[in-house]
Structure formats: C-alpha cells, structure tokens
C-alpha cells in the first residue's frame, strides 16, 4: 500500500524539507516513486508502490489548474477514464 503525507499551516509557508522528511519515514510503504507539492501553507507528499501502471501514475496530480490530488486505491474502470481524458 502506498503512503500519503501532508499538512496545512494557516499562517506559515510549508517547507519542502519537512514533507520530504515525512515521506522518508514512510518509504517502506512505497519504494517505487515519490512526489511532492507545496502551495502556501499546504504540503502534499506521497510514496508509491507500483502494482498496475508501472511506468506512469506519478503524484500529486493536478486537475483543472487548481486542484491537487494524492490518491491511493484501485479504480476498476480505469480504462473508461482513459478514453474520456
């Protein structure tokens, strides 16, 4: 299972070093990839365990220019989504 980390500081800038350190602590959850996103006081991080879709799937994912997502799970009808995106 992948690992997800994040935090929000309402009055401070989030720090990339902090979210990296958090993800380093859960490296065993996902040794295949890592990703980070910082926006103001919000920090997202992930560690990925690749099972399906070994070559893509890097996260966090940006959608519609303003929404950032970190996801862990399985989408059974992923082929339907691939056709419409």
Report domain extents, the chain: 3-84
Q: Which of 2, 4, 43, 70 is catalytic?
A: 2
pLDDT digits (tens, 9 = 90+) for 21-67: 999 999 999 888 999 999 999 999 999 988 776 677 788 888 777 88
Q: Give the torsion through C-alpha atoms of 45, 34, 72, 26, to 10 deg.
A: -70
Residue 61, C-beta contacts closer than 8 angstroms, at least 6 positions apart: 68, 69, 70, 71
Q: Is 2 one of the annotated active-site residues of the chain?
A: yes
State the Cα–Cα distance between residues 21 and 84, nearest whole angstrom.
37
Residue 18, C-beta contacts closer than 8 angstroms, at least 6 positions apart: 7, 43
* CATH superfamily label, 3-84: Aminohydrolase, N-terminal nucleophile (Ntn) domain (3.60.20.10)
pTM summary value? 0.77
């Amino acid at each position: 299972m992948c690992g997800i980390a994040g935090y929000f500081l309402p009055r401070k800038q989030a720090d990339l070093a902090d979210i990296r350190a958090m993800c380093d602590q859960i490296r065993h959850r996902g040794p295949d990839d890592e990703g980070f996103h910082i926006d103001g006081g919000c920090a997202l991080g992930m560690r990925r365990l690749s099972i399906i879709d070994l070559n893509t799937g890097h996260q966090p994912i940006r959608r519609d220019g303003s929404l950032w997502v970190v996801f862990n799970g399985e989408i059974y009808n992923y082929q339907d989504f691939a056709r419409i995106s």
